Amino acid sequence: MSVHDFIRARFVRTAYAEPVDVTGKTMIVTGASPGSLGFETARTLASWGASVVITTRSNPDAAADALRARLQYAEACQRVEGQALDLSYSDSVASFVRWFVENHGDRLDVLINNAGIHLDLLSRWTEPRLTDDGFEIQWRTNYLGSAHLTHLLLPLLEKTGQATGDARVVNVVSHLHVKGSNDDLFGRTRPYDSWAAYGNSKLALMHMTRELQRRYAEESHVQAYCLHPGSVFTRVADKGLEGTGMIEKARNALSPVEAFFLKTPEEGAQTQIHCATYPRLAGGLYYEACHPAEAGKDVEDTEVAERLWTETEAWVAT
What confidence tens digit (pLDDT) does each residue in 239-294 have? 545 555 544 444 454 445 444 457 899 999 999 999 999 999 999 999 999 999 99
Task: Give Cβ neighbours of residue 128 (< 8 Å, ≥ 6 apart).
Answer: 136, 137, 192, 197
198 is catalytic: yes
Using CA atoms of 47, 50, 55, 61 in order, give the dihedral in degrees to the nearest 10: 60
Residue pair 15/98 in contact (Cβ under 8 Å)? The answer is no
SS3 10: helix
**Dist. CA 277–CA 29, nearest whole Å:** 13
| Cβ–Cβ under 8 Å, residues 119 and 199 | no
What pLDDT, on the 0 to 100 scale, is given for residue 253?
43
pTM of the model: 0.91
Which residues fall within 8 angstroms of residue 177, CB to CB, at 6 or more apart? 199, 202, 203, 205, 206, 295, 296, 298, 299
Q: Looking at residue 207, what is its pLDDT?
A: 98
**Domains located in the chain, CATH noted:** 12-317 (3.40.50.720)
* Strand 110-113 relative to strand 286-288, pairing: unpaired
Give the Cα separation of 115 and 113 in Å (integer).
6
Bridge partners of residue 82, in order along the sequence: 54
CA angle 207, 264, 119 (to 5 degrees): 50
Q: In what order do the strands lie in the sheet containing 286-288?
A: 80-84, 51-56, 26-29, 110-113, 167-172, 222-228, 286-288, 291-292
Q: Quote the CA–CA distance of 221 and 53 in Å, as a whole number.
A: 22
DSSP letter string, 220-255: H-EEEEEEE--SB--SHHHHHTTT-THHHHHHHHTH
Distance, CA of 293 to CA of 228 (rounded, Å):
9
Question: In the chain, which residues have pLDDT < 50?
Answer: 1-10, 240, 246-251, 253-255, 257-260
Cβ neighbours of residue 62 closer than 8 Å, sequence gap 6 or more: 82
The C-alpha atoms of residue 43 and residue 68 are separated, in whole angstroms, by 8
Catalytic residue among 16, 89, 143, 198: 198
